[in-house]
Amino acid sequence: MKKLLLATTALAGVALMAGGASAQTTSASEPIKLTLGGYFSMYGAAGLQEDDPGQPGSHRHNFDLTRESEIHFKGETRLDNGLIIGVQVELEGETSADQIDESYIWFQGDWGRVYLGSTNSAAYKLAVGYPTVDSNFDGQQPAFRQWSGAPVSAAGVTPGAPPNVGGPVGDARLVSSSFASTIDVWVADITDDAEKVTYLSPRFAGFRFGVSYTPDNTDQEGLGGSVAPRGGATSGFSASNNPTTWSNDVAGALNYENKLGPVDLQAAIGVEHGFLEGNKIVGATTFDDRTTWQAGVDAGFAGFHLGGGYYEDDNGIDATSTGADASGKQRTFAAGASYSLGPLTVGTSWLHARRSRDPIGFDEKLDRILVGGRYALGPGVDLRSSVTYFDYKGALSTATERANNNNGWIFLLGTVLTF
């Protein structure tokens, strides 16, 4: 009997311990609690550019204060089964037509991470470029552009051009952005922040891959889809015949990041392909499906970083086109170097971009050289300064060559806060 009581007591103790352990693990997950993050950038910019009458710099100030900021609301929770679920919503810090920037949720496990919502594609997220001193001005998708393209009149529009056309010339299809050129952008990004599904794998021996699918390139942040206004009907599915719009976009990328002896190496290649909506003929230009791709590398050693890359975008223009945007293919070469010593980083970058406008014979071109540095005053507080030389040619004909070409210097001093 004594042995039976001892055995029973031992079993009861084991059961209690097991139950206690189970109670501790089953209530591990908690509701998502949001935290704040984001950034605020502020610069003083002085410029010297072609400013004679009829040239791009005419009727423009030569000094300006420029800023850009976002507040990020983000949070995550880990479920009892190990699955991590997160959310992020990015609020523009100034009034904008795009008041909410990216807005998405994500799921993560040992198998990788899935993004659902308004965010960039896998080709964008895994891209590698040269080391930048200040990505706001020399990154793969700069936040600011200080140089001017087509001249503006005192009334604020390009002489002889449609309304709201003033500033950089370039892609004649981009009516919503006043025909602004995208020639200084060199990352695969057809869909921007349109609603999409993206998968990023975990790393295997330094390698990571990703894929994205975007069903509708116009369905971004509530602009289409089943959005129900208060007291009204839903907008239904978005139209599938929007001219010069690429949908059912697929993107893929392969990224490598590893330490090879004393060298920190990063490299990536990414591609996006979009299918044209609507008619393939718009004016004299024949549009078709669009493909863009980019590859880059960055190697670091003892504080030094050296890198570069190549970018190509056919802009969805068919080779049989005969209009001003005829072939439309853009090619970009870029390289950069930097050196970091404690809180100080100095560096330089060079970019050469060219967009074909055959058969008229005048291509859009940009050469840009930036030299600058940044100093970390403290955690999340940078002081940044740079000097940029640019040579821009946006001529469409001999008659407009002088009016569309520009070269000069930009001097910058600013601060960037990240939080």
3-state secondary structure of 261: coil
Rounded CA separation 17/397 (Å): 84
DSSP lists the bridge partners of residue 365 as 354, 393
What's phi and psi for 404, nearest 5 deg? Answer: -100, -10
Whether cis (ω within 30° of 0) applies to the bond prior to 131 is no
Report the chain's C-alpha Rg in angstroms.
26
With beta carbons less than 8 A apart as the criterion, state whether 42 and 65 touch: yes
**What three-state secondary structure class fits 214?**
strand
* Phi, psi angles (nearest 5°) of residue 75: -170, 165
* Residue 246: count of CB within 10 angstroms of its CB: 24
Distances, alpha carbon 288 to alpha carbons 59, 247, 281, 336, in Å:
38, 12, 9, 34
The fold of the 33-225+237-418 domain, in CATH, is Porin (2.40.160)
Count of Cβ atoms closer than 10 Å to residue 155 Cβ: 10
Local structure of residue 175 (DSSP, 8 states):
G
User: Which of helix, strand or coil describes residue 49?
Assistant: strand
How far apart CA 208 and CA 254 sit, in angstroms, is 6
- With CA atoms as reference, report the closest residue to 217 among 194, 241, 242, 240: 194
CB 227 within 8 A of CB 235: yes
Ordered mean pLDDT values, 10 residues apiece, the chain (419 residues) = 38 36 44 94 93 79 92 95 95 82 95 96 97 94 81 46 41 44 86 93 97 84 51 66 84 97 96 85 69 96 97 80 62 97 97 78 84 96 96 65 79 96
Residue type present at position 269: I
d(CA 65, CA 90): 23
- CA-wise closest residue to 138 among 409, 334, 275, 286: 334
Residue owning tokens 């439309």: 328
Structure tokens at 208: 């990571």
Query: 3-state DSSP call for residue 121?
Result: coil
Are the C-beta atoms of residues 291 and 188 closer than 8 Å to each other?
A: no
Whether 12 and 19 have beta carbons less than 8 Å apart is answered as: no
Distances (CA, A) of 330 to 153, 325, 345: 29, 11, 31
Q: Which two tokens stand for residue 414?
A: 């600013």
Which residue type is seen at 224? G
Cα separation of 9 and 15, whole Å? 10
pLDDT at 284: 55
Left if phi > 0, otherwise alpha if psi is -120 to 50, otherwise beta: which for 72? beta
At 153, is the secondary structure helix, strand, or coil? coil
Contact status, residue 385 vs residue 356, Cβ threshold 8 Å: no
Strand spans (E) along 60-193: 63-78, 84-92, 100-109, 112-118
Place of tokens 């960039």: 120
Domain limits, the chain = 33-225+237-418
**H/E element, 124:** helix 122-125
Contact assessment for residue 301 and residue 263, using Cβ atoms and an 8 Å cutoff: yes
Residue position matching structure tokens 């995208």: 182
Q: How many angstroms separate the most distant Cα atoms in the chain?
A: 111
DSSP 262-315: TEEEEEEEEEEEEEEPS-SEETTEEB--EEEEEEEEEEEETTEEEEEEEEEE-T
